[in-house]
Amino acid sequence: MSAGSRAGRPETARKPQRSTAGNIAFAAGLILVLASTILGAFAGVYLTLKLADESFLSPAIPEDGRIALVIGGVGFGAMVGGFLPLTILGLFGGTDENGTGEKPRLRPIEASRKMLGVLLFGIYLVVVSVVVAQLGWILPEGLVVLAGVFAVGFGWVPLALLPWERFGLEGVRSRFASSKKAN
């Protein structure tokens, strides 16, 4: 029965296959993004530990709250480290394989805005983790770690609920909605 339904389908309806060079380029890009994400996370941990130990904030961070600050550093570093190569690749990306221009290149001003937004979001995550680290004054370290994971993990929720249209940033919510409709 299934053989009969395939018999009427033309051969041109199949999806085009990627070339070997395209597969190699995709794998290289994936490795680059994953490596920069991991290295960014390690750099974020290093920076937040320096922030907790050797900066003006060191007296304000309790010993039981240091791990919450490290969790924020992981979020900050991974976000910036992951989006930096994606934005750079977007600068050099071209049109799709059919040449219709559905995936245009990023302009430098758009790329800088995207990176500034990612950087500000990463700083927001560090601020959230500093606030959660203050729980170390009254709670044991295990509960502060648990609170830090939830606070940093769900730190994007308040930003998603902001009325971006009031700030003149209509494209933020509409781009998110259009990408959901496309799927």
Quote the CA–CA distance of 166 and 173 in Å, as a whole number: 11
Convert the pLDDT of each residue in 149-181 to its tens digit: 888 888 777 777 777 677 666 655 544 454 445
Query: What single DSSP character describes residue 166?
Result: G
Quote the CA–CA distance of 60 and 164 in Å, as a whole number: 33
Percent of the chain scoring above 70 in pLDDT: 75
Query: What single DSSP character describes residue 13?
Result: G
- Res 18 pLDDT > 80: no
3-state DSSP assignment of residue 99: coil
Convert the pLDDT of each residue in 32-73 to its tens digit: 889 998 999 899 889 888 888 888 878 888 888 888 888 888
Q: Between 164 and 8, where is the model more confident? A: 164
pTM: 0.69
69-88: b (≥16 Cβ within 10 Å) or e: bbbbbbbbbbbbbbbbbbbe
Q: Quote the mean pLDDT of the chain.
A: 77
pLDDT computed for residue 11 by the predictor: 56
Question: What is the mean pLDDT of the segment spanning 23-29?
Answer: 84
Helix, strand, coil % in the chain, rounded to nearest 5: 80, 0, 20
